[in-house]
Amino acid sequence: MEFLYWLEGIRIPVLNELMLFITQFGDESAFLIIALVMFWCVDKRRGYYLLTVGFVGTIINQFMKLWFRVPRPWFLDENFSVLEQAKEGAGGYSFPSGHTQSSVGTFGSIAYSTKNKILQIACIILAIIVPFSRMYLGVHTPLDVLTAAAIAVALIVLLRPLVMGHDGKYIPYLLAVMTVLAVGYLLFVELYPFPDDINLSNLASGKENAYTLLGAVLGMIVVYAVDTKWLNFRTNGVWWTQILKVAGGLVLVLAVRGGTKELLNSALGELAGRAVRYFLTVITAGIVWPLTFTWFELLGCSKK
C-alpha cells in the first residue's frame, strides 16, 4: 500500500488518461484480437501457444481469486483513493491481477516465440507497462501484479516446448489437460462450500468465467481436430487481403459472441448459454471463417 500511495501522489490528468488507455491491452478484447491475428495471419502453432498460455493462466488466475478472496486496495485501506474511471473494469477480487496475467501471457509468449528484435522489445515493454498501469490506477497491489506475472512467465517457459516443439504432437494432450482444468474449476465454483461472507457478485463473476472457459476450451478441441484432419487452412496472404481477412473475421466473431447471447440465455439459461455461446464463437473463429481463406488467397493472386 505504501507503493500505491506513492503512485497516487504522482497522478496527473495526462498520465491518468495514458494509463487508462494502456491498461486496455490487458482486456479480454485485446487478447481476442491479438490471438485471432496470430491464428489467422501469422502462424497457427504460435496461435495455439498464445491461446494455451492464455487459457491455462486464466483458469489458474480465476481459481486463486476465489480461493484467497483478497479485497481490492480501496477496501483494504479506506483512506486510499482509486482512480474512479478505472473502477468499472476492476470487478472481482484483487489477487492475482487478471489484466497482468493476460498482458504478460499474451505479449510474453509473442516475445518468446519470435526472432524479430523490434517486436520482442515492443512486447516486453507492454508486458511491463500494462501491469504497472494496474498499480498506478490503484486497482491492484504489487503482490497482485507480481504473482500474476510470475505465473504467466512460468507458463510461457513451460508450455513453449510442448506447443512449439515436437511437431505439435503434445497439443492434443494439452487440450485434454485444459479441459480437465476447466471442468475442475467449474465444479469448484459450483460445489465448494464458500463462507457466508463471500462477495456474491464476485462469486457470480467466477461462475460466469468458469462456463466461458469450458465452452472456449471445448471449442478449441473441435477446431484443432477439424483443422488437422480436414481443413488445414493456411495463414499466408498478400498484406491487404490479410487486413480484409482480420476485419471481416472480427466482425463475424464479435457478431456471434454478442448476437447469440439473448437467444441462448433464454433457451438454456445464462450460464449454460454462456458456455454454448463461447463454444460457437471459437468454432466460428477456427472453422467457419477459415473456410473463406482460400478465396482470400485467390483474390490476392488475381490482383498481383
Task: Give the mean model confidence (pLDDT) for residues 171-182.
Answer: 95
Give the separation between CA 304 and CA 41, rounded to whole angstroms.
Answer: 19
pLDDT, tens only, 65-113? 999 999 999 888 888 988 888 887 777 889 999 999 999 999 999 999 9
Q: How many domains, the chain? A: 1
Give the separation between CA 268 and CA 256, rounded to whole angstroms.
Answer: 16
| C-alpha closest to that of 105 among 154, 171, 46 | 154
Q: Residue 197 sits in which domain range?
A: 2-302
pLDDT, tens only, 20-41? 999 999 998 899 899 999 999 9
Mean of the per-residue pLDDT values of the chain: 92
End-to-end CA separation in angstroms for the chain: 59
Give the separation between CA 3 and CA 142, rounded to whole angstroms.
Answer: 8
pLDDT, tens only, 134-164? 999 999 999 999 999 999 999 999 999 999 8
Give the separation between CA 286 and CA 36, rounded to whole angstroms.
Answer: 9
Percent residues over pLDDT 90 in the chain = 80
The predicted structure's pLDDT at residue 301: 61
CB-CB contact of 287 with 231 (8 Å):
yes
Peptide bond into 96 cis (omega under 30): yes
The predicted structure's pLDDT at residue 304: 46
Task: Give the mean model confidence (pLDDT) for residues 193-219.
Answer: 93
Give the separation between CA 30 and CA 47, rounded to whole angstroms.
Answer: 14
CB-CB contact of 238 with 87 (8 Å):
no
**How many other CB atoms are found less than 10 A from the CB of residue 303?**
9
